[in-house]
């Protein structure tokens, strides 16, 4: 099952102090850059292929929920879907 992550996304960056409805791809890309991680580094840390991360950072439309959650957790982020 694949979920369109472009709608109704709320990300908890710091214990519910910042909520957003930005596209998940943008949130992941911004968080990775803020932590000064290269795409290959984040993919390795999250245990996914570079191709999967590239797809996720592009639009996230073909990436499963478990993969999205794994990448977010690697970046220290949490997801709540309403």
CB neighbour list of residue 48: distance below 8 Å, 6 or more residues apart: 67, 70, 71
Pairing of strands 78-81, 9-12: antiparallel
- Please give the angle made by the CA atoms of 66, 70 and 72, to the nearest 5 degrees: 115
Each domain of the chain, given as residue ranges in start order, spans 9-81
pLDDT tens figures, 26-46: 889 999 999 999 999 999 999
Instruction: For residues 38 and 47, give the distance between their C-alpha atoms in angstroms, rounded to a whole number.
Output: 14
Q: What pLDDT shows up at residue 16?
A: 40
Pick out the chain residues at pLDDT < 50: 1-17
Q: Which CATH architecture has domain 9-81?
A: Orthogonal Bundle (1.10)
> Nearest 10 degrees: CA dihedral of 55, 60, 62, 64?
110
């Amino acid at each position: 099952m694949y979920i369109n992550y472009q709608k109704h996304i709320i990300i908890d960056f710091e214990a519910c102090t910042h909520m957003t409805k930005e596209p998940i791809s943008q949130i992941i890309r911004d968080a990775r850059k803020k932590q000064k991680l290269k795409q290959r580094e984040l993919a390795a840390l999250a245990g996914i292929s570079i191709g999967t991360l590239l797809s996720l950072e592009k639009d996230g439309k073909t990436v499963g929920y478990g993969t999205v959650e794994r990448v977010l957790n690697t970046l220290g982020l949490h997801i709540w879907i309403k």
